Amino acid sequence: MEERKILLREDEMPRQWYNILADIAMNPPLGPDGNPISPDMLAPVFPMNLIEQEVSQERWIDIPEKVLGILKIWRPSPMVRARSLEKALGTPARIYFKNESLSPPGSHKPNTSVAQAYYNKEFGIKRMTTETGAGQWGSALAFACAHFGIECKVFMVRISFDQKPYRKSMMATWGANCVPSPSMETRAGQAALEKDPNTPGSLGIAISEAIEAAVSDESGQTRYSLGSVLNHVMLHQTIVGLEAKKQMEKINEYPDIIIGCAGGGSNFAGLAFPFVYDKIHGRQIEIYPVEPAGCPTLTRAPFVYDHGDTAKYTPLLPMHSLGHAFVPPPFHAGGLRYHGMAPTVSQLVNEGIITPKSVKQRQVFEAGVLLARTEGIIPAPETNHALAAVIEEANKAKEEGKEKVILFNWSGHGLLDLTAYENYFAGNIKDIELAEAEMAEAMKVFAGHPKPQNLKTAK
Ligand SMILES: Cc1ncc(COP(=O)(O)O)c(C=O)c1O
């Protein structure tokens, strides 16, 4: 009988995360004076145990037993051979995916929210704040906080809040409080509403609100949590790629191509980084982060020092950025509407170790519908970006008559994103491409920022 799922037992779960900082060259984050920040400068925002992880150069970091215990609710996640898709495309490629849609909140996000809630609890934190774009991250933190008895407050980007009201109900069920962003609760939210009362919101604005809400709590018992971009988030997600490596080994396969959608970079990094290690050490693999043409951070924006949020509360990070004040067009993949990108992912693109691609909205939904009708799972609109690239690569393999092995990350399901699918079927989804003039305008904010060095990773 043909196998579909490649499974690991619970006792085969990885016991350590892989930290790519041990293997690549990085520019440091900078403070307002242009000098590298010290860990204590981040202390009002994050607990010190997570800050230590953020700057750690250790290649392998132990996953705490308590974290593993909660991850076991849905991990190890299956690696699935997409046989029905292969058949539908008539491709000689063998296509595999990690199914991260099986977590209770519906995506890869709890791989880090559980770890972050754990470290906050260990540090004595009572309340956590965060932003959410698609609603997946807010749900993931709500789920994790419920496990550790931590209060949770979520600022959800306005357009997503309106598009998917049940995400708020989901967060409420896990005990969290979710409000639309921009809100009147913070100075950053008030400023954004003053500028444009009808703004769809952005992740940049929502991050500012969540940071402000954390640091302004005078009890000192609130911290902020970010669902992507930072090094410790990429670290926690590597459990995906480490599991995939073991699963590939079990069937004597190794990927030629790795694909993940990229908003802030975390699901892509989680799958890809353990394989990037192999590539740095001589293996031939094509590795593609895929982003929307409407928010082309990696494919069209420069590698600069920029803030991670609109109100400039974060340090300057070395990353590909469209400018911290940029409000991406309101397309249907809230988790990919981010102006910046993880510094680690940006650095790898800058060095040519990974190669970004961008795809347009209609191609993205066409791919999602094909996958739903073949593999059965209705994908999150963010995931659809990866799927569009998978189909392109599978068709290329067919044209070339090559038996390529493609591995991708199915980052989440779209069961609370059905409005987007309805809009697609009604013909209301348009291809959005960012105009040069709009990009040039957004990038004026870089004036006066220092420039990152062109560092080269030793191989
Ligand atoms: C299902 C899903 N996939 C992907 C992303 C993009 O985030 P990241 O690039 O950090 O994986 C999101 C973000 O909200 C998401 O919800």
pLDDT of residue 39: 94
| Distance of CA 381 from the midpoint of ligand 1 (Å) | 9
pLDDT of residue 332: 85
pLDDT of residue 219: 96
Give 376: exposed, middle or buried? Use CB within 10 Å, 0-12, 13-18, 19+: exposed
Is there an atom of ligand 1 within 6 Å of 261 CB? yes
What is the DSSP code string of 203-257?
Answer: HHHHHHHHHHHHHT-TTS-EEE--SSSSHHHHHHHHHHHHHHHHHHHHTT---SE
Using one digit for the tens of pLDDT, what is the confidence trace for 211-248? 999 999 999 999 999 999 999 999 999 999 999 999 99
| Distance of CA 216 from the midpoint of ligand 1 (Å) | 28
pTM over 0.85: yes
Q: Rounded distance, CA 112 to CA 195, Å?
A: 34
Partners of 156 in beta bridges? 132, 180
Is there an atom of ligand 1 within 6 Å of 136 CB? yes
Output phi, psi for 353, to 5 deg: -80, -35
pLDDT of residue 458: 66
| Distance of CA 383 from the midpoint of ligand 1 (Å) | 8
Output phi, psi for 206, to 5 deg: -65, -35
Q: Rounded distance, CA 312 to CA 393, Å?
A: 39
- Domains of the chain in sequence order: 5-9+64-106+230-446 (3.40.50.1100)
Residue having the nearest C-alpha atom to atom 15 of ligand 1: 335
Is there an atom of ligand 1 within 6 Å of 287 CB? no
Residue to mutate (ligand 1; options 97, 136, 234, 384; most atoms within 8 A of CB): 136
Counting atoms of ligand 1 from 1, which one is nearest the CA of 136? 16
pLDDT of residue 331: 82
| Distance of CA 336 from the midpoint of ligand 1 (Å) | 7
Using one digit for the tens of pLDDT, what is the confidence trace for 128-157? 999 999 899 999 999 999 999 999 999 999
| Distance of CA 186 from the midpoint of ligand 1 (Å) | 25
pLDDT of residue 403: 97
Using one digit for the tens of pLDDT, what is the confidence trace for 168-201? 999 999 999 999 999 999 999 999 999 999 999 9
Q: What is the largest CA-CA distance in the chain?
A: 64
Residue having the nearest C-alpha atom to atom 13 of ligand 1: 335
Residue having the nearest C-alpha atom to atom 14 of ligand 1: 335
Q: Rounded distance, CA 67 to CA 292, Å?
A: 33
Q: Enter the tokens of residue 412.
A: 């989440």
Q: Collect the ranges in the chain with pLDDT lower than 70.
A: 458-459
Q: Find where tokens 């993931």 sit.
A: 140
| Distance of CA 345 from the midpoint of ligand 1 (Å) | 14
Q: What single-letter amino acid sits at 61? A: I
Q: Rounded distance, CA 181 to CA 174, Å?
A: 20
| Distance of CA 234 from the midpoint of ligand 1 (Å) | 12
| Distance of CA 382 from the midpoint of ligand 1 (Å) | 6
Q: Rounded distance, CA 315 to CA 37, Å?
A: 8
* Helix, strand, coil percentages in the chain from 3-state DSSP, rounded to 5: 45, 15, 40
Is there an atom of ligand 1 within 6 Å of 157 CB? no
Counting atoms of ligand 1 from 1, which one is nearest the CA of 270? 11
Q: Rounded distance, CA 394 to CA 400, Å?
A: 10
